[in-house]
Amino acid sequence: MSGDKKGKVILAYSGGLDTSCILLWLIEQGYDVVAYMADVGQEEDFEAARAKALKCGAVGFFLADLKREFVEELIYPAVQCNAIYENVYLLGTSLARPVIARGMIEVALREKCDFVSHGCTGKGNDQVRFELAFYGLAPSIKVIAPWRLPEFYQRFAGRSALLEYAAQNGIPVVQTAAKPWSTDENLFHISYEAGILEDPNTTPPDDMWKLTTSPQKAPETPETLTIEFSKGLPVKVTCEDGKVVTDSVDVFLTLNALARKHGVGRIDIVENRFIGVKSRGCYESPGATILRVAHMDLEGMTLDRNVRALRDQFITIQLSQILYNGFFFSPEREFVTAAIPASQKTVNGFVRLKLYKGNVIVLGRDSDEGLYDAKFSSMDEMGGFEPTATTGFIDISSIRIKAWSRAK
Amino acid sequence: MSGDKKGKVILAYSGGLDTSCILLWLIEQGYDVVAYMADVGQEEDFEAARAKALKCGAVGFFLADLKREFVEELIYPAVQCNAIYENVYLLGTSLARPVIARGMIEVALREKCDFVSHGCTGKGNDQVRFELAFYGLAPSIKVIAPWRLPEFYQRFAGRSALLEYAAQNGIPVVQTAAKPWSTDENLFHISYEAGILEDPNTTPPDDMWKLTTSPQKAPETPETLTIEFSKGLPVKVTCEDGKVVTDSVDVFLTLNALARKHGVGRIDIVENRFIGVKSRGCYESPGATILRVAHMDLEGMTLDRNVRALRDQFITIQLSQILYNGFFFSPEREFVTAAIPASQKTVNGFVRLKLYKGNVIVLGRDSDEGLYDAKFSSMDEMGGFEPTATTGFIDISSIRIKAWSRAK
Amino acid sequence: MSGDKKGKVILAYSGGLDTSCILLWLIEQGYDVVAYMADVGQEEDFEAARAKALKCGAVGFFLADLKREFVEELIYPAVQCNAIYENVYLLGTSLARPVIARGMIEVALREKCDFVSHGCTGKGNDQVRFELAFYGLAPSIKVIAPWRLPEFYQRFAGRSALLEYAAQNGIPVVQTAAKPWSTDENLFHISYEAGILEDPNTTPPDDMWKLTTSPQKAPETPETLTIEFSKGLPVKVTCEDGKVVTDSVDVFLTLNALARKHGVGRIDIVENRFIGVKSRGCYESPGATILRVAHMDLEGMTLDRNVRALRDQFITIQLSQILYNGFFFSPEREFVTAAIPASQKTVNGFVRLKLYKGNVIVLGRDSDEGLYDAKFSSMDEMGGFEPTATTGFIDISSIRIKAWSRAK
Amino acid sequence: MSGDKKGKVILAYSGGLDTSCILLWLIEQGYDVVAYMADVGQEEDFEAARAKALKCGAVGFFLADLKREFVEELIYPAVQCNAIYENVYLLGTSLARPVIARGMIEVALREKCDFVSHGCTGKGNDQVRFELAFYGLAPSIKVIAPWRLPEFYQRFAGRSALLEYAAQNGIPVVQTAAKPWSTDENLFHISYEAGILEDPNTTPPDDMWKLTTSPQKAPETPETLTIEFSKGLPVKVTCEDGKVVTDSVDVFLTLNALARKHGVGRIDIVENRFIGVKSRGCYESPGATILRVAHMDLEGMTLDRNVRALRDQFITIQLSQILYNGFFFSPEREFVTAAIPASQKTVNGFVRLKLYKGNVIVLGRDSDEGLYDAKFSSMDEMGGFEPTATTGFIDISSIRIKAWSRAK
């Protein structure tokens, strides 16, 4: 019988309607299908998904807990260089795709799959991120993207066609009304897009936001915490109640819990997708927002000015674009991240913060690095250098300006 | 008698202790002194200052209202390119110095002054900003910077020496205790530095902040507003109560009032001064903070992706450094700003905002520019282009990645 | 009869075998075809091409002399910012495509064509440059790219199939052996690629090079010339024999003639095409090579250091990529070029050069701009500023370095 | 007696008139002086210099052969990233200063010197390069720069004052006429500046050039060679006569000899010094010029497109400025160079070159890296990817362009 088969496919499976239908359809087309799920911190009933995948006919189901590598390999370099896309988006989905893709390719090679498949639409960023990652890891793998295949997308033109197909195949579908937007969730963030959000002037409804309390409903009482960094990485969080967290995943979960409580980390933007289309997205990145404020603040105290300026221009902007566009497994990503450690050697110290109704307020910071020297910066006393030296500095700095001014 | 004079000096005069003593001292050294004050929106008793300057012996006193040119010539280009220094500081002092310097040079040339003087210390940024601006406008002008002259700074080593000198010369000094920090204020912002702030781990006391209510004391009820932009400039603010403001200075003052009420615009950072010294500064930039959020948001909807990315890298970062370091009157500033209008042609539309206890929340935005097209971005329907085209796009985009992956 | 027609196509026609077959094939498919040729300075028998196009059945033939706009609108901005791709390639083909595309779209709109067609292959840069230009100028135009249509490229799999098709249709084909490479020529350059050049270790044969004498066969006697620039543009060339040229096209032709004689302007590289494929190309850019040397030299004397550095990093690199990748009609190209005039205000003066066997040697240069001031730069005399000022300059410049060194 | 001494100085000594007078003068001022010479490949009579220093009264003389560390630690990273200042200058002097300064500081610490001194003028780059390097290595060291001390430069206002002072102190001075320019030489290059060169329109006399034959007098017969690179470094040079060189210093000396013979590596420019003054300089960088051509060519074949573009924009330009301005021992230099190895992993292969009368002509190149794939790039055959994929690529790439064009 397997002689008739077209080969083996590993499918990025979510347990939802779309990927269940894709699973069924792939089998119908003559493929053996292995379902793959990654636990990157999203809220999900993995056991139910496993049962559903097998019921759909999957020849295998693989669940991988990738939370630690997600945090340590993807999120941490992003934290170290304050990665941000178009000044606003903290890249939560972009960061998760490479670890998921790597997990899939590992199973694909082990299970001798010839194909990789996913349920991403043909207009978004995630199809690109998945597939470029697949190709970067396994350049000869073949991709099946049903939502870009006319025989699939013409057959399943709306949600009802999918529901009907699932029912015909005896696949139970939870009969809740679909939310009028779609989401992607992991321990770094949740995204909301499509549906009613496609009108950029529509304010998202209050009940859309899932990972954070509304600032208006957040506690009246602020809460403080201290984050300690070593080489630009958050190695210790001390909460107001004295609780101390040091494990990399726990640090993230703890910051998420604090930020959620205090309404920190919501954004609502129109962004530019890699394919050149503008798109409206809303995001909650609770812990990540706290970390970004703290890390940037500590860099003010501990990072050399010129390193910071070069890093902002060379690494931050470039890496953010590379991640957003899906080129994590690429020579340019390897090149750009190679310089991160050299930029973070001195980023050691702590930042004291206050959370209050959506605000992350810096209360103070300190470091033993010694790059901040009150004696030098003090306006109130001599110290560090002679005031007359500054006259020379300005004289020389103005040579070029005077020449230009005279020439005008 | 004037034959004995060393010449005429124009002094940037504030009415405070330092510049009054400098005024007296310059006269003592044999100079004729013209006192100059610029109204850039700071809270000041200009008439008292005039009286004091003349009592000190100034041969003239000039007060110039520079608010409009400050807003339209300095602040607006900064708004258009989202200028920010080290990701945090909105450049309020840096933006005011060039208009003040230009005002001084205009009077200096008219009044035939040979020298320009100021009360900036020998360790800060403002001495550089003032003097580079002076030289860029009048390359042959001579600068007297008393705080860098040993004969001055050794004589007036502390506040008490200044107080005594003033008293000796019959200059009344308000006998209030000096605040344990120094400030610089204009309609864009106020800065706090030095004194107790030189310990970067000291939280600024609540009563330091002057231009904004504390988020904790701000109203429980949010307030909405709409800002309309034309070519990247805020041309109309519509308040929740229906009040409409269109004048450039009024727009700023209105946004300041709203932000002040709702606790918007405080920051506390360690930054890198131009002379290479790290320094702790606190700032309130109320209206500017709202404007920045709104302008960046509208750019998401109206600015081409590649223009935005190039602008961020080429103009935003560069112009911010140029302004911070005091090179406003320079060939590089003229060069960099020459490209701003081309980047803002399409930044037309409005942004709806909500202010609430320190938060500036985007509620929605719209534009007639047509760069956002829901048909193209919709995840829920075909439209704009064929999904199969994306397959080709990914195939071609991955050629380079596959080649690299195979070569590894 | 026209009711059966599929519509009207304008075809970028060269008179060669490929585009003649495409012309025939388009007619066979039911299109009316208008043939378009642009004179951008290439060596071509335009009349023969016209006759052939009409014999093939074209319903119209249009020839446009675009040499002047090619020089003044495309080449000149490139000269002003020293445009170069990957440090080596002067962008000759990239610069010509936009003017040709614009010429075609003008005729297309006038002649009410529904389609634009070209003979570019499916692997090169020129298909992209043409089509992006078409879409940038006429976003609703439809493109027929036969070499990417299976029904075409499978039918005409080799040169013999094309020859046979031409013969069947009574189209005379010059029976010379095809050169083992392909070329693109205009007044800026000629390119050679494909065929035997696809082995990057094969030295191009001597008789390939068409626009320049071999350095080894160039005259033993050097020849001098002077180029005068105004705002970065070459406004006057004075030859050794006293001949003076000022017209923009003549300047180019004159420099081409001189460079050709003295073996100037050959390169042989492996470059990266926009689609991500590496490709070997050889180029002759005779006059352009002289101009580049002269313009960069004069900028040394007349352009402010910081403007030059910013321009190199942000305009030169960006514009070169934009041109190479075919995005001339794009918002980013408009943005980037908006800053060019501000960078060239002071680039006025002349450069004296010597040409000799492949070398372009600068003999001297001068300018009235005054940015170069021997008094300031002289090592042999005091002048311009006090040596003690430099001590202050170094003291301040080293604050940051000392802090870092101590912290290590 | 030593109780009267002001302390111990290490002096960068050249054996020439200036530094001999400085040596004498420092002793006269009450310092013990240690003379230091570095052999960085310049042509010099080191033994005569030793004798002269000791005759002047130096308490010690140290000569260090730094050629290998100069090549391997300074020159090689510059080669790997094609370092160049203002598009023309290969940074020969800038590269030598850090190794010399490091050599001096090593001896200074060992010999317990309190001061470092040098003979650089107060207007040039080298004073800055030396002193920033001193401070970066030994932040508490004190610098004596006689040419910036009024008591020195006023006393020795011209060459005759120095000659007289030397004679008075019994120091023999070679009575040759001084050349009307000054030079700095090492195994990478020689520079010429000042004197008659300060008129930028004066063509340097033929007999100025020292390290290269004039192209006009170079052999009529070309000469070929092959350079093999490993990770971007030249590991093997094979000459036309079969001679093979692999040692790092020998590679440089061999390339120098070949370039010298064939007139390769002369330039004549106006450049911008760090202090903001324009300056005319002539340089010969013979072997370095060959290496640059070869390395850039091989990168075309072996370096990923995006890595190359990012490296050009962020490493090449930045490192060149850092080196030129004297910030080798700085956090930003460490940061920038940290990314170089990641950019050169694939730069392996060889380049075949021909030298002829000033020209460095690439004859071919090859590599086993596999990033160049004739099957993909071939215009003459299908292969690598489907032509239809390019249609999708262009469709998607034009979405943004069409939207912009429609919006106009």
Per-residue pLDDT tens over the stretch C361-371:
999 999 999 89
Give the total residue count for chain B.
Answer: 408
- Closest to C395 (Cβ–Cβ): which among A306, A389, A406? A389
- Closest to A124 (Cβ–Cβ): which among B215, B363, B379? B379
Q: How far apart, in whole angstroms, are the C-alpha atoms of residue A55 and residue C73? A: 66
> Is the per-residue pLDDT at B207 higher than 60?
yes
* ipTM rounded to 2 decimals: 0.95
Summarize pLDDT for C21-53 with one digit per residue, the tens: 999 999 999 999 999 999 999 999 999 999 999
D369 touches chain C (CB under 8 A): no
CB atoms B388 and D386 under 8 Å: no
User: What pLDDT, on the 0 to 100 scale, is given for residue D1?
Assistant: 36
* CB contact at 8 A, C353 and C362: yes
The pLDDT of A234-253, averaged and rounded, is 98
DSSP state of C85: B
The pLDDT of B35-42, averaged and rounded, is 98
CB atoms B390 and D388 under 8 Å: no
Specify the range with the lowest mean pLDDT, choosing from A50-59, B90-99, D371-380: D371-380
Instruction: Give A-chain residues touching D306 at CB under 8 angstroms.
Output: 327, 330-332
Contacting A residues, span 236-295, partner chain B, CB-CB under 8 Å: 266-273, 275-280
Alpha helix segments (H runs only) across D154-263: 159-168, 248-262
Q: How far does Cα C125 stand from its chain's mean position?
A: 13
Instruction: Give C-chain residues touching D121 at CB under 8 angstroms.
Output: 379, 387
pTM, rounded to two decimals: 0.96
Which residue in chain C has the smallest CA separation from D357?
Answer: C357
The neighbouring-strand residues paired with D160 are none
C160 touches chain D (CB under 8 A): no
Confidence band of B3 (pLDDT split at 50, 70, 90): very low
Contacting B residues, span 179-208, partner chain A, CB-CB under 8 Å: 182, 193-195, 198-203
Low-confidence ranges of chain D (pLDDT < 70): 1-4, 174-177, 379-383
User: What pLDDT, on the 0 to 100 scale, is given for residue B1?
Assistant: 36
B7: left (phi over 0), alpha (psi -120 to 50) or beta: left
The neighbouring-strand residues paired with C55 are none
Instruction: Give B-chain residues touching C332 at CB under 8 angstroms.
Output: 304, 306-307, 310
Specify the range with the lowest mean pLDDT, choosing from C344-358, C374-388, D237-251: C374-388
> Is the per-residue pLDDT at C298 higher than 90?
yes
Which residue in chain D has the smallest CA separation from A318?
Answer: D310
- Best of A399, A401, A405, A406 to substitute, by most chain C Cβ atoms within 10 angstroms, is A399
> Is the per-residue pLDDT at C1 higher than 50?
no
Instruction: Give D-chain residues touching B397 at CB under 8 angstroms.
Output: 393
Confidence band of C180 (pLDDT split at 50, 70, 90): confident
User: What pLDDT, on the 0 to 100 scale, is given for residue A380?
Assistant: 66
> Is the per-residue pLDDT at C3 higher than 60?
no
Summarize pLDDT for B261-301 with one digit per residue, the tens: 999 999 999 999 999 999 999 999 999 999 999 999 999 99
Specify the range with the lowest mean pLDDT, choosing from A28-37, A374-383, A396-405, C298-307: A374-383
Tell me the average pLDDT of chain A.
95
Q: Which amino acid is at A41?
A: G
In chain A, CATH 3.90.1260.10 covers 184-303+346-366
B385 touches chain D (CB under 8 A): yes
B371 touches chain C (CB under 8 A): no
- Closest to C306 (Cβ–Cβ): which among B314, B332, B400? B332
CB atoms C309 and D327 under 8 Å: no
Instruction: Give A-chain residues touching C305 at CB under 8 angstroms.
Output: 400
Summarize pLDDT for B218-259 with one digit per residue, the tens: 999 999 999 999 999 999 999 999 999 999 999 999 999 999
Class for the domain spanning C184-303+346-366: alpha beta
Q: Which residues of C65-81 are buried (b: 16+ CB within 10 A; e: fewer)?
A: ebbebbbeebbbbbbbb
Tell me the average pLDDT of chain B.
95
Strand order in the sheet with A349-356: A244-245, A233-239, A223-230, A349-356, A359-366
Q: Which of B18, B32, B184, B297 is catalytic?
A: B18
User: What pLDDT, on the 0 to 100 scale, is given for residue B232?
Assistant: 98
Confidence band of A177 (pLDDT split at 50, 70, 90): low
> Is the per-residue pLDDT at C2 higher than 60?
no
User: What pLDDT, on the 0 to 100 scale, is given for residue B373?
Assistant: 86
Highest mean pLDDT, choosing among A171-175, A232-236, C389-393? A232-236
The pLDDT of C8-14, averaged and rounded, is 97
Q: How far does Cα B297 stand from its chain's mean position?
A: 21
C368 touches chain A (CB under 8 A): no
In chain C, CATH 3.40.50.620 covers 8-80+94-175
The pLDDT of A134-161, averaged and rounded, is 94
Q: Which of C39, C114, C148, C182 is catalytic?
A: C182
User: What pLDDT, on the 0 to 100 scale, is given for residue A381?
Assistant: 66
CB atoms D382 and C313 under 8 Å: no
DSSP state of B140: T
Q: Is C39 a catalytic residue?
A: no
Which residue in chain A has the smallest CA separation from D272?
Answer: A400
Task: For residue A215, give the nearest of B93, B361, B37, C358 by alpha carbon.
Answer: B361
Q: How far apart, in whole angstroms, are the C-alpha atoms of residue C1 and residue C30? A: 10
Tell me the average pLDDT of chain C.
95
More confident residue, D3 or C291: C291
CA-only gyration radius of chain B, Å: 25
- Six-digit token pair at C4? 């059966």
- The H-or-E segment that residue B336 falls in is helix B331-337
Residues 6+ positions from B342 with CB-CB distance below 8 Å: C334, C335, C338, C339
Summarize pLDDT for A179-190 with one digit per residue, the tens: 889 999 999 999
Q: What is the distance in angstroms between the Cα of B277 and the nearest Cα belonging to chain D?
A: 15
Q: Is D182 a catalytic residue?
A: yes
Question: What are chain A's partners, defined as 3 or more CB pairs within 8 angstroms?
Answer: B, C, D
Task: For residue D125, give the nearest of D160, D86, D68, D161 by alpha carbon.
Answer: D86
A335 touches chain C (CB under 8 A): no
- Closest to A276 (Cβ–Cβ): which among D275, D341, D397? D397
Which residue in chain B has the smallest CA separation from C384?
Answer: B140
Question: What are chain D's partners, defined as 3 or more CB pairs within 8 angstroms?
Answer: A, B, C
Q: Which amino acid is at A179?
A: K
Instruction: Give C-chain residues touching D388 at CB under 8 angstroms.
Output: 122, 148-150
Which of these CATH numbers, 3.40.190.10, 3.30.70.100, 3.40.50.620, 2.60.40.1240, describes C8-80+94-175? 3.40.50.620
C337 touches chain A (CB under 8 A): no
User: What pLDDT, on the 0 to 100 scale, is given for residue D177?
Assistant: 67
Summarize pLDDT for A86-144 with one digit per residue, the tens: 999 999 999 999 999 999 999 999 999 999 999 999 999 999 999 999 999 999 999 99
User: What pLDDT, on the 0 to 100 scale, is given for residue D169?
Assistant: 94
Task: For residue A252, give the nearest of A184, A187, A347 by alpha carbon.
Answer: A187
Residues 6+ positions from B250 with CB-CB distance below 8 Å: none
Instruction: Give C-chain residues touching D276 at CB under 8 angstroms.
Output: 305
- Closest to C396 (Cβ–Cβ): which among A389, A404, A406? A389
Summarize pLDDT for B129-155 with one digit per residue, the tens: 999 999 999 999 999 999 999 999 999
Q: Strand, helix or coil at A119?
A: coil
The neighbouring-strand residues paired with C7 are C31
Q: How far apart, in whole angstroms, are the C-alpha atoms of residue A25 and residue A155? A: 11
D364 touches chain C (CB under 8 A): yes
Q: How far apart, in whole angstroms, are the C-alpha atoms of residue C61 and residue C51? A: 9
The pLDDT of A193-214, averaged and rounded, is 96
User: What pLDDT, on the 0 to 100 scale, is given for residue D2?
Assistant: 45
Give the number of other CB atoms < 10 A from CB of residue A75: 28
- Six-digit token pair at D38? 């570095």
User: What pLDDT, on the 0 to 100 scale, is given for residue C96?
Assistant: 98
Give the number of other CB atoms < 10 A from CB of residue D50: 18
User: What pLDDT, on the 0 to 100 scale, is given for residue D390?
Assistant: 94
User: What pLDDT, on the 0 to 100 scale, is given for residue A179?
Assistant: 85
Q: What is the distance in angstroms between the Cα of A48 and the nearest Cα belonging to chain D?
A: 38
